[in-house]
Amino acid sequence: MPEDQQNLQILLKAWEMCQGIAKSNGKSAWSVRSWGVGIWSALIAYAFTAKIPAIAWVALVVVISVFVIEIAIRQIQYSYIRRSLEIEASLNDVLVGGSVRIPEHGASTNIDTPTIRDALDLLCIKRWLIWFPYLLLVLFTFLAKMII
């Protein structure tokens, strides 16, 4: 039984770590988005003020770059969320009276390297809050380019 207790403590600590890393990545993604929208807004405002439509293209490059960076951060975040859920399932087994079951990947915070497939999974309808704001910014950029 002491070994089960020790494994339980390890699982709890790993779960806390995964939760913390996922939360940190979520904050980073929002920070990147905030900076990106701020820079995009400043560039569009300057394009209108200076009447230089080419600056809208720079704003478009900024939006796309920030989107790619956010997608990369979100991939890592969702990997940690999946890992956290695996550990949580093991902890739930203990709560319902079962023995401590170590998840398939152990109690490690080491995740698989994100892939292009993982990035594409974030573009599904279920994750529209990630990609839809960027789609709007791209559309507004083209609209601004036509107006300037």
Q: Is the pLDDT of residue 59 over 90?
A: yes
* Range from 35-39, 49-53, 75-79, 94-98 carrying the lowest mean pLDDT: 94-98
Q: Is the pLDDT of residue 23 over 90?
A: yes
pLDDT category of residue 1 using cuts at 50, 70 and 90 = low
How many Å apart are CA 48 and CA 42, to the nearest integer? 10
CA distances from 66 to 16, 41, 62, 69, 109 (A): 29, 13, 6, 5, 26
How many Å apart are CA 7 and CA 107, to the nearest integer? 9
The gap from C-alpha 69 to its chain's centroid, in whole angstroms, comes to: 9
Q: What is the pLDDT of residues 76-132, one digit of tens each?
A: 999 999 999 999 988 888 888 777 777 877 777 788 888 999 999 999 999 999 999
The one-letter amino acid code at 78 reads Y
pLDDT category of residue 58 using cuts at 50, 70 and 90 = very high
